[in-house]
Amino acid sequence: MSSTLVRVGLVGVTGYTGMELARLLAVHPSFRLAAVTSRQEAGQTLAEVYPFLQGFAVGDLVVSLPDADALADACDLIFLAVPHGAAMSIAAELLARGRKVVDLSADFRLRDTAVYEKWYGREHSLADALAEAVYGLPELYADRIAAASLVANPGCYPTAAILGLYPALARKLIDPDDIVIDAKSGVSGAGRGPVLGSLFCEVQDSFRAYSLGSHRHTPEMEQELSAIAGRPLVVSFNAHLLPVNRGILATIYTKPKDPGLSPAAAREAYASAYADHPFVRMLPAGRLPEIRSTRGTMFCDIALVADARSGRLIIVSVIDNLCRGASGQAIANANLMCGLPLAAGLGQAALVP
């Protein structure tokens, strides 16, 4: 499949993740966007929906209503950028027709249907597909992603947290029973719908916590971090809303198993773990990451601080929630599924200032 253009489809083009996918796919060297769907915008061209695509070939595509048969006929791989619960039925139809699927919702991230039903408040109707789905974090599961027909694209907060903690847990540098993840996200993480709490006047010049102790990304983090640690663990995950459009900054508080763990040894463990992973950038001692340095990119910037006074190893992990935390990561997974280089179409530098 990698020798010719791959026909891809996008279900749910009008949300922020669909918008970001359209932006990235417009210039992808090996993917040709062959079908885009939306119930609200059907009948319009993509350039009419998104004027920033004027002049790009994808701008002439006409948005259609979702139809599994039409998508299967037109596409080799389909991105599902639809709300939780909506992906299950269309994914089942596309998989039955032999198509590859990257799902950006939470419908296939959690391996236990009971956990999904508890946290998302709905029945899971595709337990068989859930067992076959691969969690789409390339730094951990690239080989499995490449062989998969269904990839569950990770959530944005979990991407930042798991990448931040992976080397420390895998190399048993920290106590798995003492992890606090204090994370902040831009407003685009709440979606494009007109929700009161996401309106400009409600967010601008303010800062607030939300969903403390009950955020839906918690079981996803615990599932993957437990797999890395080789034992069940519970984390304290605390989410906050920043008055910015995009970006996630996670400050992660951990306790080293060895009180004598040196900052140099910790940084070496991280540098070694991510040596072959170009999208993770380890910052040198004395520098801390900021969200503008990753805006619109696939990079995860990580810094380590050894706090001798409190005896903690503090990990700061920063990503763009829409690109690395959603649509860009979905394209990276699709690249692997189609035999393409991981970074194909994803070489953008940050959008600064």
Beta bridge partners of 253: 180, 314
**Cβ partners under 8 Å of residue 178, min gap 6:** 254, 255
310's tokens: 């409190």
Estimate to the nearest angstrom the gap between the alpha carbon of 19 and the chain centroid. 15
- Active-site residue among 75, 156, 323, 338? 156
Answer for the pair 110, 220: CB distance below 8 angstroms, yes or no. yes
| Amino acid identity for residue 94 in this structure | L
Q: How far apart are CA 160 and CA 249, in angstroms?
A: 8
Numbers of helices and strands, H then E, in the chain: 12, 13
Answer for the pair 12, 349: CB distance below 8 angstroms, yes or no. no
- Assess whether 75 carries a catalytic annotation: no
Q: How far apart are CA 13 and CA 24, in angstroms?
A: 12
Positions marked catalytic? 156
